[in-house]
Structure 1
Amino acid sequence: MFYSAHLSYELGLIAALVIAGTQVFASEPDPIAGQPRITVTQLVESVLSHHPGLKARQAALEAAEYRIAPAGALDDPTLSYSTAPDTLDSSRRFNQRLGLSQALPWPGKLALQKQAAQEEARAIAENEGALRLQVAAAAKTLFAEWFYVHRALTINRDHQALLQELRRIAEIQYAAGRAGQQDALQAEVAQARLEVKAVTLDRRRREVQARINALLNRPPQTRVPLPAGLPQLTTPLPRLAQLQMTALRAHPELARIRARIAGAKAQVGLAEKDFYPDFRVMAGYNSFWDDPAKRWTLGFSINLPFDYSNKRSAALDAARADLRQVRWRFTDREARLLGELEASRAAVEENEAVIKVYLRRLAPLAQDNLDAARADYRAGAGPFLNVIDAERQQLRTENGLARVRADYLRQLAQLEQWMGIPLDQLADSISAPAAPLPPAKEITP
């Protein structure tokens, strides 16, 4: 019920991040090695500090920042020299020509080129921020699965022990002539099914461990500490309007497209200035002239920006079309982001409501049902099948609670990814009190 279609997509995204990021196992100190347990915060921090994909984006940003200064710099000056070789042995003087020239673009071109490079660097920086959101969400999703599989294994072991106890009770009842042999066999069959399920869960545990190690850039068989308890949300979710304003203001994907828009505007400006001429100033010395007053020269040249074959008009139209494309991309991404934000918030609210039902009704009722069935069987007032059914209901309830708690963390991670910042950064702006829950012990593996 709580496995949505998005779970497979998210795990596929995690696999893509893993494959794209993992190349050489990290040689840096491992902050989680040797720890008995790990929290979701510790895992996220460790992943963000070790993920190779993020380091690659940081290197790309560094390279883009280094390109800013050259983009706004003048071209190198040109030095030219020529001579008349036949004058070397001539009775007349040795003749030569020396020239120095410097290209000067139309005013404003260099500034626009530098602005375009700056916006490209800003887009790469925001692209790194978007990847950080994806990696953090992937780490939290894997932590949720890491918690669930350990909790499910614990529940499985507890119910195997419970079925062993029920089997002993059935054997005692059978020996006393108050029950049939089938009761003990039913308990044994149920326990065997749990043993099969335990094998599947252990395979799942190894799979999740390998994916966590891949995000951490470690060998897949490296031990991952046991998960600590899942974090509890102590404040209610912010209003949808607040989440939307935060996403529109702070989400790195929108900021990246804004940088692309600014860069496209700079390219339009460059295309417009291409209709104006560029300059070249020159100074030279020419000894070919007999008159010394004519040997030193100063001058300049300009290109004539004729629009042959509409080449400049076409370049300007292309730049304007690129700008429109990026603006429409921003509109599309903004709409999809707001839609995903609303869907993710609804999923979080659903999980909150389901957790409350489990804690307040399903879990206590399942335990009471099992206790009553066991008491009736001991007293000879109920069949053993009722005990087995009650045990299965409690098993499904405990597994369901563990699943929805893990899904709750996963949905929170998705909500933060669409919002653009962690939820705890909005805590100061939330004043409404949280809805209290009845006392419940912390669920840990």
Structure 2
Amino acid sequence: MLTPKLLPVLALAAVLLSPATRAQSDCDAPPAPGSEPLVKRALACNPGQLALDARVRAQAERTAASGHLDDPKLMLGVAPRTLGQNEVRKGYVVEVSQSLPWPGVLELRRALEEAGTDSRAFEYDQGAVQLALALRLAYADWHYRERLIAINRRHQSLWRTFVDSSRARYAAGSGGKAAVLQARHEEHQLHLDELALTQAVARDRSRLARLANINPSELSTSTPLPQREPPAGSLTLALDSLDTQPQLQQLAAEETRKSRELELAEKDRYPNFSVLARHNNQWANPDQRLFVGVGFNLPLDIGGKRSARERSLEAERLAVEWQRRDAALALADALGRAESRHREANDTLHMYREELLPLTEESLVTARDDFAAGRGDFLTLLVAERNLLKVQRDLEAAERDRFAALAQLTAAAGLVMLEDWNLLAGGGK
């Protein structure tokens, strides 16, 4: 698994060594169940991520092609009116020339392309972070609504027993018809809720299938959300590793690229040279037929064109620098807010599990027993059942929110997989 610091380097290596054909063959296999296998599947098969992958490889090839001398030029010429005449020498000219940039220019051109490759690699890493976040949030919604359907069906079954009990009491004269009608209404309302949830689940599956680049029919049913938690002091760990985040490293690479462009613009104030060799057989004296020479341009700053370009590039570099500083502040703020939401979600989930759910379950059991024994009224049973249904739904929402908060915190830390927290805690930056 990739560490935050080595993530761009290893990701670039993986991109260069894993062509799209192999990724496509991996995508033909059925997906493994669970959110984390789907994240890995999406990283390998998502078309948007594969497009970033291809851009990294394209830029890497441009880097490999940079830093070399321009191709030499060959010129061939002939004097056409000398052809076919025996009294004059046939005239032709052969010239070979080679341009030579100012020392250091080739190295700067190479460094410029290398910075572009770094930027593309970090863009790929940031895309992986955002893709993993989107998929986890979509998976959390899918699992949440499937759990609501299961809760809904249990309560429908429960209300069917209440309908039977109410009818029995009505037939025996110990209960009113209103209780029967209300019980049937509650059962029908739950059935309507199930219809809406079923369609929402279909939409969730469609969103997941798009992110993972699979057919929705390959998603059978959701599995429980991972219970993994970030290590103690996760906020401090993430803040200490802030500079290694892909978003900031991409901006740092862009700043480096602008600096290299500025250095190249400053080198443009120095002349470029060219050497040439020419052979002209029109000269009667053989010693005069071979000509060698050197040429260079005159880098005049007419109209301040060079100065203006340098000022423009310096302003662009400064803009990227300020953008990087602003992004660092935004990431630090996002980390703090994500960590706060995660703690809140954990506390809320604990309250529902340990306090509210047992209380409402006990209240319903008591109300149901009293109603069956004729000691309680239907209204008390109705309130107790509705309270339990609400708490069970809220518990599932709290479970979803806990996982969503974990996903947000993981993305804010610049991590892709949940197990990357272990590497961060172990100092693997």
Aligned to 1:225: 220
In structure 1, what is the Cα distance between the partners aligned to 2:202 and 2:259? Answer: 51
Change (3 A) 1:426 1:87: same
Secondary structure of 1:230's partner? coil
- The alpha carbon displacement at 1:165 in A equals 1.2
Q: Residues 207-241 of structure 1: CA distance to partner in whole angstroms, max 9, x if unpaired? A: 11111122232445x24121111111356553422
Deviation track 1:271-297 (CA, whole Å, cap 9, x = no partner) reads: 110100000011121222222222222
Given that residues 71 and 114 in structure 1 are in contact (C-alpha distance below 8 angstroms), is that contact kept between their aligned partners in structure 2? Answer: yes
Kept after mapping to 2: 8 A contact 1:247/1:418: no
In structure 2, what is the equivalent of residue 298 of structure 1? 292
| Matched-pair contact (CA < 8 Å) for 1:209–1:223 | no
User: Any conservation in 2 of the 1:32–1:225 contact (CA below 8 Å)?
Assistant: no
The counterpart of 1:362, out of the listed 356, 363, 381, is 356
Tell whether the 8 Å contact from 2:92 to 2:280 is kept in structure 1 after alignment.
yes
Counterpart of 1:216 (choices 209, 212, 217) is 212
Aligned partner (choices 18, 28, 31) of residue 29 of structure 2:
31
Q: Give the Cα–Cα distance (whole angstroms) in 2 for the partners of residues 96 and 430 of structure 1.
A: 75
Alignment match of 2:148 (pick from 143, 148, 152)? 152
Equivalent residue, structure 2, for 1:270: 264
Alignment of 1:35-74 (within 5 A): 38-74=33-69
Distance 1:197 1:401 in 2: 17
For residue 163 of structure 1, what is the aligned residue in structure 2?
Answer: 159
Query: In the alignment, which residue of structure 1 is the partner of 2:251?
Result: 257
- After TM superposition, give the deviation of residue 29 of structure 1 in Å: 4.7
Q: Tell me the CA shift for residue 378 of structure 1.
A: 2.3
Task: Classify 1:223/1:86 alpha carbon distance in 2 versus 1 (closer, same or farther; 3 Å).
Answer: closer
2:74 maps to amino acid: L
Partner of 2:392: 398
TM-score by length of 2: 0.89
Among 174, 177, 182, the alignment partner of 1:178 is 174
Residues 32 and 46 in structure 1, CA contact (< 8 A), matched pair in contact too: no
State the Cα deviation string for residues 316-374 of structure 1 (Å, max 9, x = none). 11111111111111111111111111111111111000000001100100101111111
Structure-2 change in CA distance of 1:429 and 1:404 (3 Å): same
Q: Is the 8 A contact 1:67 1:117 kept in 2?
A: yes
1:104 corresponding residue in structure 2 = 100
Map of 1:348 onto structure 2:
342
| TM-score (normalised: structure 1) | 0.86
Equivalent residue pairs, number: 401
**Alignment partners' CA distance in 2, 1:299 and 1:345:** 69
Residue 113 of structure 2 aligns to a residue whose secondary structure is: helix
Provide the secondary structure at the position in 1 that maps to 2:291.
Answer: strand
SS in 2 for 1:275: coil
CA distance in 1, matches of 2:391, 2:209: 31
Q: 2:71 aligns with which of 44, 55, 76?
A: 76
Deviations along 1:392-437, whole A, 9 cap, x unmatched?
A: 0000000001111112111211111111114422326659xxxxxx
Matched residues in 1 for 2:164 and 2:282: separation?
118
Q: Secondary structure at the match of 1:300?
A: strand
**Residues 254 and 214 (structure 1 numbering): CA distance in 2 closer, same or farther, change over 3 Å?**
same
Q: How does 1:174-213 map to 2 (within 5 A)?
A: 174-213=170-209
- CA apart distance, 1:55: 1.1
Displacement of 1:306: 0.6
Tell me the secondary structure at the aligned position of residue 227 of structure 1. Answer: coil
Superposed displacement of residue 28, structure 1: 6.2
Match of 1:307 among 301, 304, 317: 301
The question of 1:133 aligning with 2:126 is answered no
One-letter code of the match for 2:241? T
Contact 2:242/2:328 (8 A) holds in 1: no
Q: Is 2:105–2:267's contact at 8 Å kept on the other side of the alignment?
A: yes
Alpha-carbon distance between aligned partners in 2 of 1:187 and 1:177, rounded to the nearest angstrom: 17
Instruction: Identify the residue that residue 18 of structure 2 maps to in structure 1.
Output: none
Unaligned runs of at least 5 residues, structure 2: 1-23
* Percentage identity across paired residues of the two chains: 31
Displacement, 1:173? Answer: 2.6
Deviation at 1:187, TM superposition (A): 1.2
Q: Alignment partner of 1:91: what SS? A: coil
Task: Let me know the Cα RMSD of the aligned residues.
Answer: 1.9
Q: The residue matched to 1:99 in structure 2 has which SS?
A: strand
Aligned twin of 1:440? none
Q: Does 1:380 align with 2:380?
A: no
